[in-house]
Amino acid sequence: MIQITLPDGSKREYDKPVSVADVAHDIAPSLAKVALAGKVVLTNQEEKLVDTSYLITEHVKLSIITGKDPEGLDLIRHSTAHLLAYAVKELFPDAQVTIGPVIENGFYYDFSYKRPFTPEDLQKIEKKMQELAKKNETVTREEWTRDEAVAFFLEQGEKYKAEIIASIPTNETISLYREGNFIDLCRGPHVPSTGKLKVFKLMKVAGAYWRGDSKNEMLQRIYGTAWATKEEQDHYLHMLEEAEKRDHRKLGRELDLFHMQEEAPGLVFWHPRGWTMWQQIESYIRRVYVENGYQEVRSPQIMDISLWKRTGHWDNYKENMFTTESENRLYGLKPMNCPGHIQIYNSNLHSYRELPIRYGEFGACHRNEPSGSLHGIMRVRGFTQDDGHIFCTEDQLQEECANFTKLLQKVYQDFGFTDILYKVATRPEHRIGEDSIWDKAESALMDSLRHGGYDFEISEGEGAFYGPKIEYTLKDALGRHWQCGTLQVDFSMPVRLGAEYVDANDQRRIPVMLHRAILGSLERFLGMLIEHYAGAMPPWLSPVQVAVCNISDAQKEYVEEVVSKLKQQGIRVIADLRGEKITRKIREQSMQKIPYILVVGDKEKEDGSVAVRARGNQDLGVMPLEKFIECLQDNVKNLKTNV
């Protein structure tokens, strides 16, 4: 008998092999109708996703996967990518298919075709996909030898697919999936029939090099999204519309914050209003440094390449570094600040009584990012990090890690973020240092989170080459995730650069080095803030906090008096004395997302008051100027995120 254990612990027995679909039907016919796949755990504890047609021949644990499961949504998207390729081949038989993986919120498929696909082509392809889905054609798995598959795809004129298969070892069985007239290479599993694919939309076409190599042919990548329900897709499409409105590049132009141009790719030209926001963030972080025992330092922009070789950066990171020469010496433009901070630490011999020593720097860094990856101020080549390094003893390591996480939570809350995700990135394949050191470093990070009561995920192999790290990820107003802060434990670089301290027994010891950043790249964090708040920054961050508008020329001198008093209180204010109607002034200043607009007419002039309008068309009424100043200063002092 074959015994199948279900998620609720109940068991079912069969006297012969049985398919996942049959088990689902036995549980409930309604479950069989929505079943997309199965998740089986074999007797050797191997877990795998399988098609509903998969025959169970031994004792297993079985879960039925539907569209409500994360795995089910991935299956829908993967199968929809195949449906896209099927539709393209139906409409454009000469097109060659390459690869079509699942990505976040959707999928894509790369094609080689003699001409660019147009928006009209996308509409035709999507319509054809809908027609093929309605046919409800069965999706079946077939197993071929590698050479059979290569010969088949070459005969079909699919040289890219044949090249992929030819790279697979000869002794491996090749699985292909067939639906109607279309057959494609795939490991699987897939939905049981095309009729399961009901909610999808093609989004755009972009270029992509074959196998990601710029030396190869440029292919056409069609992106799409797919969901289990129409409501989920509608929500996602609405979020995309909202994200487009909030795009920091668009708002950067509209609010006159910054610009970028071809002569300086990946570098930012900050305008006065944008730089004012930058300065507010920098001033805030500087206060955090002072309050938490950091000493602010400054290290050189360029250093001799020999230093970067000693740290290991040259061997592990040189493709991302800019270099320059002078007097027959090769220099590296710093991609990060840690080697400079060790030089500052090494300039004096330290006692254990001085530790921990915490350095902080607004360090200007440069990294040679590929041009295709640049994205406004979110991904740049020149950026500033709120970078810091802590030199401590091993006994102090746990406490320093825990304290940093608490500090980071407070900072994020002040910027309006309360939802933080924690990930521990472990040792990568290419790294420096012994495994025993990595064991110690990874344990320190994980234990600090466990003792703080924080749940965390593990990102296998995603650590830096010199040490593991905690990655702190924020969720914004649209539910998007942004990885910002990091905390890395490094036992290796202090050894390589000769960092020492004198212990209680007058013995020379090597400190542990913690690399930490709260915001990460200030450029990226500011771009994230712009999108999170849709440009309507909290009053303490807003480049202009108040606009004062007169109704007629008779109040011109009073406006100037009000502006002068506000400036004396450190308030960022502008006067709008144009000869326009007051309604137009209010509308235009509102479009600049200024937190407060003060309107003054003859009555306000006579009373020494102001009529206050808060962002969002809130009429706060008339009040004495002193009361308004008091309210605004309270808002700013307490870092409130709304007006």
Task: Specify the pLDDT at position 160.
Answer: 94
Same domain flag for 147 and 41: no
Residues 385, 362: contact at Cβ < 8 Å?
Answer: yes
Which amino acid is present at 10? S
pLDDT band at 465 (very low <50, low <70, confident <90, very high): confident
> What is the average per-residue pLDDT within 375-384?
93
Residue 339 has pLDDT above 80, yes or no: yes
Tell me if 99 sits within 8 A of 208, measured CB to CB.
Answer: no
- Residue 15 is a catalytic residue: no
- Are 58 and 76 contained in the same domain? no
128 in active site? no
User: Residue 51 pLDDT more than 80?
Assistant: yes
pLDDT band at 362 (very low <50, low <70, confident <90, very high): very high
How much is the pLDDT for 429? 87
- Binned at pLDDT 50, 70 and 90, residue 443 comes out as very high
How far are the Cα atoms of 301, 438, 470, 502, 625 from residue 363, in angstroms, in the given order?
Answer: 8, 27, 21, 29, 41
Task: For residue 265, tell me if it sits in a domain.
Answer: no
Residue 341 is a catalytic residue: no
- Catalytic choice (78, 515, 516, 605): 515
* 426 and 444 co-located in one domain: yes
Is the pLDDT score of 313 beyond 90?
no
Final residue before a domain boundary, out of 22, 40, 66: 66
Residue 401 resides in a domain: yes
Provide the pLDDT confidence category of residue 423 given band limits of 50, 70 and 90. very high
**Do the domain assignments include residue 617?**
yes
pLDDT reported for residue 492: 87
Most confident of 171-185, 188-202, 433-447: 188-202
pLDDT value of position 400: 94
Tell me the binding residues. 338, 389, 515
Least confident of 49-53, 307-311, 422-426, 523-527: 307-311
Specify if 197 maps to a domain.
Answer: yes
Q: What is the pLDDT of residue 372?
A: 79
Confidence of residue 421 (pLDDT cuts 50, 70, 90): very high
| Cα–Cα distance, 233 to 512 (Å, whole number) | 48
Average pLDDT value for the chain: 93
Q: What are phi and psi of 166, to 5 degrees?
A: -65, -25
Provide the angle, in degrees to the nearest 10, between the axes of the packed helices 70-91 and 119-134. 110
Residue 566's CATH number: 3.40.50.800
- Of 190, 358, 389, 516, catalytic: 389
> 351 lies in which domain range?
273-299+335-533
| pLDDT of amino acid 466 | 83
In a domain, 308, yes or no: no
Selected catalytic residue, list 51, 184, 386, 387? 387
Residue 406 lies in a domain: yes
252, part of any domain: no
What residues are designated binding site for Zn(2+)? 338, 389, 515
- Sorting pLDDT into bands at 50, 70 and 90, what band is 62? very high
Looking at the predicted structure, is the pLDDT value of residue 341 above 80? yes
- 135 and 38, same domain (yes or no): no
Verify that 527 and 567 share a domain, yes or no.
Answer: no
How many whole angstroms from its chain centre is CA 312? Answer: 27
Q: Which of the residues 77, 366, 469, 532 is marked catalytic?
A: 469
* Domain boundary, last residue among 512, 533, 554: 533
* Given the residues 196, 246, 273, 367, the one annotated as active site: 367
Per the residue annotation, which of 220, 221, 248, 338 is the catalytic one? Answer: 338
**What pLDDT does 593 receive?**
96
Which CATH number goes with the domain that contains 133? 3.30.980.10
**Residue 43: is its pLDDT beyond 80?**
no
Is the CA virtual torsion 154, 159, 160, 163 positive or negative? positive
202 and 106 share a domain?
A: yes
Q: Name the token pair of 324.
A: 């320059």
- Alpha-carbon span 389 to 215, nearest angstrom: 40
Say whether both 91 and 52 belong to one domain: no
Q: How far apart are CA 509 and CA 354, in angstroms?
A: 13
Residue at 447 is within a domain:
yes
Tally of structural domains, the chain: 4
Q: Are residues 210 and 279 in the same domain?
A: no
User: Residue 438 — pLDDT band, cuts 50, 70, 90?
Assistant: very high
Report the DSSP beta bridge partners of residue 420.
474
435 and 295 within one domain? yes
Selection from 63, 77, 92 nearest residue 5 by Cα: 63
- pLDDT at res. 434: 86
Average pLDDT of the segment spanning 506-511 = 95
387 with 520, same domain: the answer is: yes
506 part of the active site: no
Query: Is residue 600 within a helix (H) or strand (E), and if so which, with residue range?
Result: strand 596-600
26 noted as active-site residue: no
Residues 471 and 398 in one domain: yes
Active-site entry in 96, 220, 385, 555: 385
Is 387 a known active-site residue? Answer: yes
pLDDT band per the 50, 70, 90 thresholds, residue 16: very high
> Is 343 strand, coil or helix?
helix
State the pLDDT confidence band at 110, using cuts at 50, 70 and 90: very high
Provide the pLDDT for residue 317: 80
Tokens 């008096």, located at residue: 561
Asked if the peptide bond before residue 7 counts as cis, ω within 30 degrees of 0, the response is no
The pLDDT of residue 426 is 94
Question: What percent of the chain has pLDDT above 90?
Answer: 84
User: Is residue 515 annotated as a catalytic residue, yes or no?
Assistant: yes
Statement to judge: residues 612 and 478 lie in one domain: no
Q: How many Å from the N-terminal Cα to the C-terminal Cα in the chain?
A: 69
Domain CATH number, residue 489: 3.30.930.10
CA–CA dist 219, 222 (Å, integer): 10
Exposed e or buried b for every residue in 589-601, given b needs 16+ CB within 10 A? bbebbbbbbbbbb
571-603, pLDDT tens digit by residue?
999 999 999 999 999 999 999 999 999 999 999
pLDDT at 170 over 90: no
- Residue 89 pLDDT greater than 80, yes or no: yes
For 75, residues 6+ apart whose C-beta sits below 8 A from its C-beta are 36, 37, 49, 65, 189, 190, 191
